[in-house]
């Protein structure tokens, strides 16, 4: 008798995203989705579908002028599903239809959320959807104060909803043309709203729950702040502290490199310079919006931005990259080795060796993918400079969406390379931890004799 084939959580995430992308590409190429009434070349339709579902933001065509209302709605749908994740959407759909979520599905979601058991899976899925809807609705409300006076009631509301979802999902796709948010470079209100949505989307859904519990304990249960802070999960402490450090470091580094560059912030007042640098620091955390043309930055600034793009946001958020907690674990491991400690500790907690292995695996795999992508892009897009290729590849693999001017001039082969990089960059940081953790659970590995080697 043939054994029934069972899909693993990794396979479901990989093929679920692939089917979503293919579905979007088939629709976006239709004449009804394009303002010129013609069929969009399939590679551009696939590129747009991939960048939307993978919440990247790199575009070979201009969204505002290329697509009709139907096309823009399809793009928005892909962004929202891509931001939540295919499995979360499927689970929530089953909840809406009053269908019981099978144990196999619960186990898959358990792996995805990194939980110890399957209890409370449905509650977490519902919480993720509700939290997203609330934040995106608030974002659209605040955006409307800018977009309605500027574009009128109906168009303004549509723009508010689209850009709120795009910002919260860290997609970076806009309806304003090829200059993104450059027209609002002097607008503190738009900078603040956009940055808030990007950060909230990137810190991770489960962090929300911990923060809400923290305030409940302090305000309702009247607990001492120190006592409540001790109850916060290590995941939350790492995600928030590393996010804060990276945002501050990014702002300072961009300012130091660009304060005298007349093409970017050199001619601006100090307060506006700081605002632009902070926005750049935020958007490199895989958002994709920009207020300054990325091609105008100095090479050193572009290199620094590549590092921040590579790191990205936090686990179980809408951002990409290898994630803040991953880089935090690697840094703490390095510090522990320098100190000669046998254990990696943080906030008076010990980090398991299995998580360290996963962090190193994700880091090395993502770095190898990025470097291979740079080499391939320069081979098949000879018009690309090294800086442009680095920026494009790190932006694609980390699902950021920023470009130093290369995306619009990509060759046919270059477009396919970036499509693959965006797809692998989106599913990699999600599936690799699940894959490596399941491998770490395997028993029966033979212990072989040790032998001396030279390292370093």
In a domain, 102, yes or no: yes
Tokens of 350: 């010990």
Q: What does the angle CA 195 – CA 198 – CA 202 come to, to the nearest 5 degrees?
A: 140
Q: From CA 106, how far away is CA 126, in angstroms rounded?
A: 14
Residue 186 DSSP one-character state: T
Bridge partners (DSSP) of residue 346 are 349
Instruction: Please report how many Cα atoms fall inside a 13 Å half-sphere around the Cα of residue 382, on the Cβ side.
Output: 0
In a domain, 448, yes or no: no
CB within 8 Å of 211: residues ≥ 6 apart: 236
CA distances from 214 to 80, 208, 234, 302, 448 (A): 28, 10, 13, 38, 48
Phi, psi of 401 (to 5 degrees): 105, 0
**Sign, Cα dihedral of 93, 51, 204, 362:** positive
How many other CB atoms sit within 10 Å of the CB of residue 180? Answer: 22
Q: From CA 51, how far away is CA 63, in angstroms rounded?
A: 12
In a domain, 455, yes or no: no
In a domain, 329, yes or no: yes
Q: From CA 423, how far away is CA 26, in angstroms rounded?
A: 17
In a domain, 129, yes or no: yes
In a domain, 4, yes or no: no
How many other CB atoms sit within 10 Å of the CB of residue 158? Answer: 19
How many structural domains is the chain composed of? 1
Longest dimension (CA), the chain: 75
How many other CB atoms sit within 10 Å of the CB of residue 212? Answer: 12
Instruction: Please report how many Cα atoms fall inside a 13 Å half-sphere around the Cα of residue 353, on the Cβ side.
Output: 4
In a domain, 456, yes or no: no
Encode the chain (456 residues) as per-residue pLDDT tens digits.
444 545 555 677 778 888 999 999 999 999 999 999 999 999 999 999 999 998 888 999 999 999 999 999 999 999 998 888 766 776 767 666 666 766 666 666 666 666 555 566 777 788 888 888 999 999 999 999 999 999 999 999 999 999 999 999 989 899 998 888 999 999 999 999 999 999 998 888 778 888 888 888 888 877 887 887 888 888 889 999 999 999 999 999 999 999 999 999 999 999 999 999 999 999 998 888 999 999 999 999 999 999 999 999 888 788 888 899 999 999 999 999 998 888 888 888 888 888 888 888 889 989 999 999 999 999 998 888 899 999 999 999 998 989 988 988 889 999 999 999 999 888 876 666 665 655 555 555 667 787 877 776
Q: From CA 222, how far away is CA 218, in angstroms rounded?
A: 5
Bridge partners (DSSP) of residue 345 are 350
Residue 343 DSSP one-character state: S
Domain limits for position 306: 10-437
Tokens of 139: 């974002």
In a domain, 254, yes or no: yes
* Helix, coil or strand: residue 374: helix
**CA-only gyration radius of the chain, Å:** 22
- Say what the pTM is: 0.89
């Amino acid at each position: 008798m043939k054994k029934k084939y069972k899909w693993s959580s990794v396979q479901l995430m990989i093929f679920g995203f692939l089917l979503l992308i293919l579905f979007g590409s088939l629709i976006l190429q239709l004449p009804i989705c394009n303002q010129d009434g013609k069929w969009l070349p399939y590679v551009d339709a696939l590129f747009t579908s991939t960048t939307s579902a993978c919440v990247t933001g790199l575009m070979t065509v201009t969204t505002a002028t290329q697509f009709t209302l139907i096309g823009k709605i399809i793009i928005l749908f892909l962004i929202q599903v891509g931001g939540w994740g295919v499995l979360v959407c499927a689970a929530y759909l089953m909840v809406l239809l009053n269908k019981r979520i099978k144990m196999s599905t619960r186990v898959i979601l358990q792996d995805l959320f990194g939980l110890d058991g399957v209890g409370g899976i449905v509650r977490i899925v519902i919480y993720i959807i509700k939290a997203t809807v609330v934040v995106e609705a608030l974002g659209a409300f605040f955006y409307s104060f800018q977009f309605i006076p500027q574009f009128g009631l109906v168009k303004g509301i549509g723009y508010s909803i689209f850009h709120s979802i795009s910002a919260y999902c860290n997609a970076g796709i806009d309806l304003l043309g090829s200059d993104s948010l450059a027209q609002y470079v002097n607008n503190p209100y738009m900078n603040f709203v956009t940055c808030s949505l990007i950060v909230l989307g990137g810190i991770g859904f489960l962090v929300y729950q911990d923060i809400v519990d923290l305030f409940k304990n302090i305000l309702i249960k009247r607990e001492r702040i120190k006592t409540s802070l001790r109850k916060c999960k290590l995941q939350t402490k790492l995600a928030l502290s590393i996010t804060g450090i990276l945002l501050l470091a990014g702002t300072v580094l961009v300012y130091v490199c660009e304060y005298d560059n007349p093409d970017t912030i050199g001619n601006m007042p100090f307060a506006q310079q700081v605002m632009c640098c902070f926005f750049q620091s935020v958007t490199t955390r895989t958002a994709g919006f920009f207020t300054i043309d990325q091609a105008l930055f100095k090479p050193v600034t572009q290199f620094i931005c590549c590092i921040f793009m590579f790191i990205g946001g936090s686990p179980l958020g809408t951002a990409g990259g290898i994630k803040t907690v991953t880089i935090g674990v690697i840094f703490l491991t390095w510090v522990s080795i320098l100190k000669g400690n046998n254990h990696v500790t943080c906030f008076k907690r010990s980090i398991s060796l299995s998580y360290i292995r996963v962090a190193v695996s994700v880091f090395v795999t993502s770095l190898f993918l990025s470097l291979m992508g740079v080499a391939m892009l320069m081979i098949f897009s000879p018009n690309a400079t090294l800086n442009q290729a680095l920026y494009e590849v790190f932006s694609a693999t980390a699902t950021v969406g920023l470009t130093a001017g290369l995306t619009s001039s990509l060759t046919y082969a270059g477009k396919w390379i970036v499509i693959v990089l965006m797809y692998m960059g989106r599913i990699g940081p999600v599936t690799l931890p699940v894959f490596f953790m399941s491998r770490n659970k395997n028993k029966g590995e033979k212990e072989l004799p040790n032998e001396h080697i030279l390292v370093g």
